[in-house]
């Protein structure tokens, strides 16, 4: 992917945008919280080899290399407007057909963008592993999760190693690209002023302790500088400080997603993530869903060394059955999808499953299949749909 800078409002806002491809619809990719557009690098290579499309991936505000005037404002409304402004700045009044694809937080922002009609040429919407019910339940434990992460790293290589061993990114190839956008060098390594705030709390209550306090202050400064020298990399964004926006990202997300009057795709790492609204909506055929078994949360970042098409033998036809649910209502449910859900319930462990070498391939296959089935894009190199249309 090559990158460019997108300037908005007389250079007050600078968005880092990565692009690839020259023909077909635009897949506008929105990363998850704490990540950057680089998290889509391996996915981009996989998808453009299967369908004719253009990739546009941007660093959202406060992430990656994007610079804005008020970086602390991470509300869903503001971030959705950012996406609309980037599209307008890049394409003017006549944007090409665009499909929004977002992972986790980026999936929520994609839905808010779509529901607010901020992309006039929107033709499709895809959320990757984000569901309102699961996300809302997880918010209470999110701070504990963030506190458990290292605050600094000795080197970029150390950060990459941690991301793979911790399971945040389950493939080394993707981690080597993605972590560059997640961490940065600590500021003030060469200046002792950088540790000033640490020693400001030292109060000299008595004159006779002044010498001792100065000695303590000096030692604390020196220790802090040594820590920064030994661990010169830290996170680009402090996610713990964004807590007040979490509720706004995810509350009401399922109904917003279902209400968008465009073809929709939901990719999940496990069927246990489905909430009630989405379960009913899927049974009613309001969106297409694909469950990716034995997969971690960063679904789109798994990169396979060898291609293994596990769904090649799936039937191309869809048999439908009707389930009587309430008095006068019935829900149409794809038999293929029902079989897949039952299989996933039996075999998918979403919390501690091993990494599969073909997970990114599955994501690319699912998105490519969705694009071709809806005639949004043309296949490349004889690629055929490999996922059932459920």
Closest CA to 265 of 337, 319, 196, 215: 337
Tokens of 42: 């391996």
CA 176 vs. chain centroid, Å, equals 17
Strands 288-291 and 264-268, bridge-based pairing: parallel
* Burial call 191-210: b when 16+ CB within 10 Å, e when fewer: eeebbeeeeeeeeeeeeeee
Q: Give the gyration radius of the chain's Cα atoms.
A: 23
Among candidate residues 36, 39, 104, 163, the one labeled active-site is 104
CA torsion sign for 368, 372, 375, 377 is: positive
Q: Is 195 among the catalytic positions?
A: no
Q: Is 374 among the catalytic positions?
A: no
**d(C-alpha 205, C-alpha 225), whole Å:** 26
User: φ and ψ at 215, to 5 degrees?
Assistant: -65, -40
Provide CB contacts within 8 A for 352, sequence distance 6+. none
Among candidate residues 63, 297, 300, 336, the one labeled active-site is 297
Contact call for residues 285 and 153 (beta carbons, < 8 A): no
Among candidate residues 36, 63, 112, 129, the one labeled active-site is 129
SS (H, E, C) 109-160: HHHHHHHCCCCCCEEEEEEECCCHHHHHHHHHHHHHHHHCCCCEECCHHHHH
Contact call for residues 3 and 16 (beta carbons, < 8 A): yes
Residue matched to tokens 């409002």? 9
Q: Is 297 among the catalytic positions?
A: yes
Catalytic amino acids?
A: 104, 129, 297
């Amino acid at each position: 992917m090559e990158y460019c800078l997108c300037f908005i409002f007389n250079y007050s806002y600078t968005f880092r945008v990565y692009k690839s491809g020259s023909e077909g619809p635009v897949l506008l990719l929105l990363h998850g919280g704490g990540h950057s557009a680089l998290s889509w690098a391996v996915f981009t290579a996989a998808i453009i080899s299967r369908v004719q499309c253009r990739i546009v991936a941007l660093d959202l505000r406060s992430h990656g290399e994007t610079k804005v005037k008020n970086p602390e404002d991470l509300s869903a409304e503001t971030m959705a407007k950012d996406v609309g402004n980037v599209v307008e700045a890049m394409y003017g009044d006549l944007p090409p057909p665009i499909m929004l694809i977002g992972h986790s937080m980026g999936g929520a922002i994609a839905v808010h963008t779509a529901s607010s009609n901020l992309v006039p040429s929107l033709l499709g919407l895809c959320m990757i592993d984000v569901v309102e019910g699961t996300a809302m339940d997880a918010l209470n434990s999110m701070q504990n999760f963030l506190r458990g992460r290292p605050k600094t790293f000795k080197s970029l290589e150390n950060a990459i190693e941690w991301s793979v061993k911790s399971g945040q990114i389950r493939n080394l190839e993707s981690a080597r690209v993605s972590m560059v956008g997640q961490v940065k060098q600590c500021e003030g390594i060469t200046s002792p002023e950088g540790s000033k705030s640490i020693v400001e709390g030292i109060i000299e209550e008595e004159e006779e302790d002044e010498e001792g306090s100065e000695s303590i202050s000096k030692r604390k400064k020196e220790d802090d500088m040594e820590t920064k020298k030994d661990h010169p990399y830290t996170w680009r964004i402090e996610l713990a400080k964004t807590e007040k926006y979490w509720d706004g990202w995810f509350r009401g997300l399922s109904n917003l997603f279902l209400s968008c009057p465009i073809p929709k795709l939901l990719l999940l790492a496990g069927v246990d993530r489905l909430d009630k609204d989405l379960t009913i909506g899927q049974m009613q055929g309001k969106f297409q869903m694909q469950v990716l078994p034995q997969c971690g949360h960063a679904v789109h970042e798994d990169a396979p060394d060898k291609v293994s098409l596990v769904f090649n033998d799936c039937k191309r036809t869809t048999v439908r059955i009707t389930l009587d649910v309430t008095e006068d209502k019935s829900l149409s449910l794809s038999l293929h999808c029902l079989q897949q859900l039952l299989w996933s319930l039996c075999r998918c462990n979403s919390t501690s499953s091993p990494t599969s070498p073909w997970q990114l391939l599955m994501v690319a296959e699912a998105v490519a299949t969705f694009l071709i089935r809806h005639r949004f894009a043309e296949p490349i190199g004889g690629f055929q749909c490999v996922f059932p249309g459920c």
